[in-house]
Chain A
Amino acid sequence: MNRREKEKRKEKSEKEEKKSSRFESWLDGDRDIYDGNMELRPQKEYEPSPYLLRRQENERKKMEERVNDVARNKEYRVFKRAYRVLAVVFCLSFIALLVLAVSWLPPVGQAGNPDNNEVSARYIEEGLQETGSVNIVTGMILTYRAFDTFGETNVLFIATCCVMVMLMLDEAVLKKQETDNDRKYEPKNDAILQGMAFILCPVIFIFGIYVILGGHLGPGGGFSGGAVIGAGLILYVIAFGFKKTQRFFNEAVYKTAKITSLVMYGLIGSYFYITGANGIENHIPLGLPGHILSGGIILPINICVGIEVACTMYAFYALFRRGGL
């Protein structure tokens, strides 16, 4: 019993000694903290392949031939000059036209302006009562003009699809490039970055969730909150690599989250449109303005939009970085 305790104490003191000695050696400049923590590689000198050199040479020759071709060159020179002049003239006249038109518009902030009409009056005066949302802007875009906002969310969705069309790689290619992606283009295991991400990521996620959930109570909402969460996810990927991120956010999770949130949004929206249009009573309670559970369809829609926007942001980054999720 006694001996064991002594042994333990001995080990402990050894450990402390180790730590303090490590600190001291760092102070003295004997040790580099990056040693063993971060991969440091000298940059390789660029060496163009003979094939590339030959191709460049050929291209240069061809270019010279075309440039020295006087007939074509002259035509091209005239065209280029005329094009430049015309472009400048056109742009200037277009700017002048727009400035002229804007100068004729009603001055900003006058009470008698055409846009100071019954539309904005109702948004401001009865918005709180009719939507249950303290934030008038959120109330307006998510209930009065809910259809437009659903369309806008679908713009994000279809934009991700387009980026996928452009950049998505085959599974096999992705597997092959896996090591490259996690090692070559970004620092691996950067201690400073990882330490900061370890502290910052949870804070960013929580702040994003707060912005989403508080969208009907103050500045915020699904679009801004989703962007914050997406930025957090991107920071996580940069610090810890795709392999670790894929443990909780892989393609399957991404697809499920995106489709579920959009379909939920669509269902809530459709329920709202169809009941409203047919004069059927809407069973979603508005709640007490100012409480977290209030605002009718605004809170659930904000959550759906938040998930969709976060997925979109992350997907853009992942697709541009490695061509897959």
Chain B
Amino acid sequence: MEIIRNFPAAAILLCLFAGIVSSGLKPKAAKWLNHALIVVEMALNLCTLYYTAVTGEAFVYVMGKFPAPWGNEIRAGVLEALLALFVCGVMLLSLLGGEKELEEKVEENKLFLYYVLADHLLCSLLALIYTNDLFTAYVFVEINTISACGLIMIRQTGRTIEAAVRYMIMSLLGSGLLLMGLCMLYDLTGHLLMSNIQESVARLHASGMYGVPLTVTIGLMTVGLAIKSALFPFHTWVPDAYGYSTASSAAILSSLVSKGYIFLLIKIIYRVIGFEVFHDTKIVNVLFLFGLAGMIFGSLSAIKENNIRRMIAFSSVAQIGYIYMGIGMGTQAGMVAAIFHIFSHAAAKALLFVACMGITGASGGSVKFQDLTGAAYRNKLAGAAFTAGSLSMVGLPLFSGFISKLLFAQAAVQNQGKMLPALVVLAVSTILNAVYFMKTVIRIYTPEQSPYEGITWKNQKLLTVSCVLLTVLNLHLGCLSQSWENLIMKGLGMFA
């Protein structure tokens, strides 16, 4: 059993090795290495999840022979292992779903780079999830930013390059703010390791010393990560980045990359600053407000959009708003809802992007709404999968979106001060969601004579597998939510 303690570190290192080796391989070999790697990663993370769930406590793994606070550490609990497993699964399905498109739209001499970038992206996500050291987190935030940028612009059109530049600027601004906060935090506490910082911060907070810089530091780190995860006023890079890149890239970016940063923020709240101290700074209220604004304005922009990919991208902005609203409630229940929504949104958004590729593929590659009429009849499977994803997003019972909305509502009811705005905005946002998603579903199910040829499932086997599995994942999250909730609660308990 003890050997399982090596697995999280092995998972991170294996990704790095795979990425490095892939840079010398042919595209096909790089692809197989990447898929094999993700399967191995899933096994490793599953073992870690099982181990932490059985022992009931998180464990710390020292990277090297020097223990904290001198050396690097990673730490694995139930929540970390669960999220890591989930990230690997969704990544594999997104890559499988978009594989055909990749081969068509990426130049052949650059295709192997896609898998190099994907390997490193996965590595950085795992490191962000498992890290117990703020500076390690920063290093892997850098890897994450650069490889995400590469994933956007690997399909070389003018729009993707513009989107990548936009993404790079906004994302580096976020990294810069995070780094500034990190430096100030080091100046105030003298540590980089999360648990040591938490002790020092608790001491500083109790004695009231350095109150101003501590608040500014927390603000800088929160805003930095909010920019990187596209919270409402900082979302301007989202529509282009998700709208014009390949389907796999869009699915990975929206469902995993932004979630990695949010998880890092949650980790910082619990394990670096401390939940109480964070709550006392009132930054939660700011997050709450921006979350609410995002829920409304993201959906309004989505309704105006005439490009299905950009519409889904704007819907991401709204969903990120939900997550920040949950964090902003400042209660345990709100946090559980936010974390559940991380899972639920990742599953649904990946499904939507992959299915959207099937739909546009049956409409001559056009993303304009007028060309999509009747697309669900030309590509029956993708149409059904898109409908399932939309229903999940809107929040129909049996689908994952319903459970997260229910949890948000429950959390709001328990929170006196924020109940009314949260419930009202939740209701309005749900209606807006329904408006633009049902509009799309009705359009793709409107029969029409069309010049485009239909696609059967035999011509898109990988897409079929990906769509079916992602739909099953959505239904699983929706129907058996209790076990997921229990794991999340258990994991949050291990954070303290």
Contacts and interface: CB of A to CB of B under 8 A. Distances in A.
A276 to B, nearest CB: 3
Interface in B93-131: 107, 109-110, 113, 116-117, 120, 123, 127
B221 interface: no
A147 B65 contact: no
A157 B20 contact: yes
Given A113-B187, A161-B147, A255-B24, 18 more contacts: A100-B216, A102-B213, A106-B187, A114-B200, A145-B135, A146-B63, A147-B72, A147-B136, A148-B135, A148-B139, A151-B127, A155-B146, A158-B116, A161-B120, A162-B146, A162-B150, A274-B6, A274-B9
Given A101-B212, A258-B23, A270-B13, A165 B150 contact: yes
Interface of A: 97-98, 100-102, 104-106, 113-120, 122-123, 130, 143-148, 150-152, 154-155, 157-159, 161-162, 164-166, 168, 170-171, 255-256, 258-259, 262-263, 266, 269-270, 272-278, 282
B191 A119 contact: yes
Nearest to A269: B13
Nearest to B188: A114
Contact of B188 (A106, A152, A171): A106
Contacts of B39: none
B21 interface: yes
B17 A277 contact: no
B280 interface: no
A165 B16 contact: no
Contact of B64 (A101, A117, A123, A277): A277
A276 B69 contact: no
A277 B61 contact: yes
A259 B20 contact: yes
Given A145-B71, A170-B107, A270-B13, A119 B63 contact: no
B179 to A, nearest CB: 13
15 contacts: A101-B216, A114-B189, A143-B64, A145-B72, A154-B143, A158-B117, A161-B113, A165-B117, A165-B154, A255-B24, A259-B20, A259-B21, A270-B13, A273-B64, A276-B71
Given A144-B66, A276-B66, A105 B210 contact: yes
Interface string B130-159: 000101100110110011011001100000
Nearest 3 Cβ contacts at the A-B interface: A276-B65, A101-B216, A151-B139
A109 to B, nearest CB: 12
Interface of B: 5-6, 9, 13, 16-17, 19-21, 23-24, 61-66, 69-72, 107, 109-110, 113, 116-117, 120, 123, 127, 133, 135-136, 139-140, 142-143, 146-147, 149-150, 153-154, 161, 180, 184, 186-191, 200, 210, 212-213, 216-217
Contacts of B217: 101
B135 A119 contact: no
Nearest to B120: A158
B64 A144 contact: yes
B212 A100 contact: yes
A116 B190 contact: yes
Contacts of A154: 16, 19-20, 120, 123, 143
A292 to B, nearest CB: 24
A148 B375 CA distance: 49
Contact of A155 (B17, B143, B188): B143
Contact of A162 (B16, B149, B210): B149
A272 B13 CA distance: 12
A152 B200 CA distance: 27
A118 B193 CA distance: 13
Contacts of A263: 17, 20-21
A164 B24 CA distance: 13
A69 B291 CA distance: 38
B70 A151 contact: no
Contact of A272 (B64, B107, B146, B200): B64
Contact of A266 (B20, B136, B189): B20
Given A101-B213, A105-B187, A158-B146, A119 B116 contact: no
A157 B142 CA distance: 12
Given A114-B190, A168-B110, A147 B64 contact: yes
A117 B139 CA distance: 24
Contacts of B213: 101-102, 104-105
A325 to B, nearest CB: 12
Contacts of B113: 161, 164-165
Contacts of B161: 166
B6 A158 contact: no
A210 B23 CA distance: 29
B460 to A, nearest CB: 26
A164 B135 contact: no
Contacts of B123: 154
A273 B188 contact: no
